[in-house]
Copies of this chain bind each other. A is one copy, B any other.
C-alpha cells in the first residue's frame, strides 16, 4: 500500500505491507490525516521513530472484532496501553510504560492507506461532524487537556503564547470551556484568526517585559524564549503549561521559577471523546486552520509544505475518502 515511511528520511513508498489486524484491534482506511509538528520532529530523529508517520486522522473501520464498527467513521486515542497496568486502569493508558503510540512509538501511523489500532481506542465520529473537523480530534483533545489543569479562578484571561495551529486550537478549547483567552503571537493574520474565534490578541511586541499579568500561561511556541516569556507573564505562584512537544534541549533561566514559586507543567494528550463532543456541539470549528490539502500519493509534498515556517494545518486525503 501507499505509505509515508520514515527511517533515515521520510519517503513515500507504494509497496508498504498492509497492516494485519490481530484480535482486539480494528483496521481502518484513512479518510483524512493531518500533519503535526511532531511528525516534522520525528522526521528529524525525535524519539528514534522508524515507521509510517501520522497520528492525526479520521478513518473508516473495515475490520474489527465488533461488527458494529464496520463501515463507521472513527478517530482513535493514539496511546495504546497494555490495558491492564495501573496507568491503564486509572489514566487511559496515556502513561502506560508498555504503550505504543500511533505513528510515534512502536506503531505504524495514519499517513498510509490503512492502519490498525486497538479497538478500545476507537471513538466514533457522529454523522454531523465532517471529516475536515474530525481529523482535528487528536490535536483538539491535546489542546482541551489544558482544561484539566488546576486553574486558579481569576478575572484575568489565560494567556496562550503562540498563534500557530497548536496555540489556535488551545485558544478555541479554552474559550469553549468558558475561559477568557489572550493569544500572543507575531503574525497579524493568525492573530486575526484567533480573534474571529473569540480570543483577545496581542502582538509579542505589545507585551511589556517582566510583568505578572495572569495566573495561567500556556506555552505553545516551543521555544526557550517563549518559555522565559511565560515565566515573566505569569504572576507569583502561577502556572505555566508546557504544551509543545520539545525535541531539543532548552537553555533557560529558571531563577523566576524559584523566586516567584511558579509551577511548570507538561501537558500532552487529551480525551478524544471530549474532542469529538466539542466538534459535535460546534463549540470549536477548526476548519479555518486548514492551510492546504494533498492526496496521499503526494504525502511527501504535504510534509514539506507543513515544514514551511508559519504554515497552519496541512491535510492528506487517504484512500478511505
Contacts and interface: CB of A to CB of B under 8 A. Distances in A.
Contact of A258 (B95, B246, B256, B258): B246
A212 B87 CA distance: 13
Contact of A250 (B95, B97, B236, B251): B251
Interface in A202-252: 212, 236-237, 242-252
Contact of A252 (B97, B249, B258, B267): B249
A254 B266 CA distance: 9
Given A87-B236, A236-B87, A259-B266, A251 B254 contact: no
How many copies of this chain does one complex carry?
A: 2
Interface SS majority for chain A? mixed
A263 to B, nearest CB: 4
A265 B261 contact: yes
Contacts of A262: 265-266
A68 to B, nearest CB: 33
A215 to B, nearest CB: 12
Contacts of A256: 266
B250 A252 contact: yes
Contact of A265 (B246, B253, B263, B268): B263
Interface string A52-70: 0000000000000000000
A242 B265 contact: no
